[in-house]
Amino acid sequence: MEIKKLNLRFGVIAAIILVAAMSRLLPHLPNFAPVGGMALFGAAYYSKRRWAFIVPVAAMWISDIILNNIVYSQYFDGFVWFYGGSIFTYGAFALITLLGIFVLKKISIFNLTCSVLAASVIFFLISNFGAWLSMADTYPRTFSGLQACYFAGIPFFRNTLLGDIFYTSVLFGTFEILQYRFPILRLQENISE
């Protein structure tokens, strides 16, 4: 019975993450995305830490493949498995997951708020650093070029923060409601998935 319970819990968490990743296909403001929320959600609810990295990254990669090869296909020559800045996006994603593993051992409003704020800052710092490195024609590879890149990214930070707040609230709220409504989804302290 416990294995079935763990498989159901694993599947529900994975499904929530996949739905969040696919929401990237809907029209939205630039940078208003589920990236931070997915990383924190996986980190908080998967007790086997490898799944906290694997499932959200796989879901995001699938949505990236669809976005890059259908929605943004005019910007690429041929099929795209990874785009130029993906190393920075996925690197930020991994750091946000790591943050969630340490900060969200106990899920509370305070811990979630701190995690969301930190996730937004991590994504902003790493993604803009990646933009600076990859856009030498726009931002010179100097300290002032790096400053200019970060300054140009400030308007996007607001949407990143709003997206992280929104998606973290929806993901965590949805799963907490599901656990309340379906107690079989609750994880006992001595069991790990």
Is 43 within a domain? yes
- What is the residue-wise DSSP string for the chain? -HHHHHHHHHHHHHHHHHHHHHGGGS---TT--SHHHHHHHHHHH-SSHHHHHHHHHHHHHHHHHHIIIIITGGGSSS--SS-TTHHHHHHHHHHHHHHHHHHTTS--HHHHHHHHHHHHHHHHHHHHHHHHHH-TTTS-SSHHHHHHHHHHHHHHHHHHHHHHHHHHHHHHHHHHHHHHH-GGGPPPTT---
Of all residues in the chain, the percent with pLDDT exceeding 90 is 64
> Does residue 94 have a pLDDT over 90?
yes
- 92 domain residue, yes or no: yes
Q: Is the pTM of this model over 0.75?
A: yes
191, part of any domain: no
What is the pLDDT averaged over residues 80-85? Answer: 83
Residue 30 domain-assigned? yes
Please report the pLDDT score of residue 70 as a whole number: 87
The total domain count for the chain is 1
* Residue 41 located in a structural domain: yes
Domain of residue 101, residue span: 2-183
Residue at 193 is within a domain: no
Stated length of the chain: 193
Does the residue 189 lie in any domain?
no
What's the confidence (pLDDT) of residue 68?
86
Is 188 part of a structural domain of the chain?
no
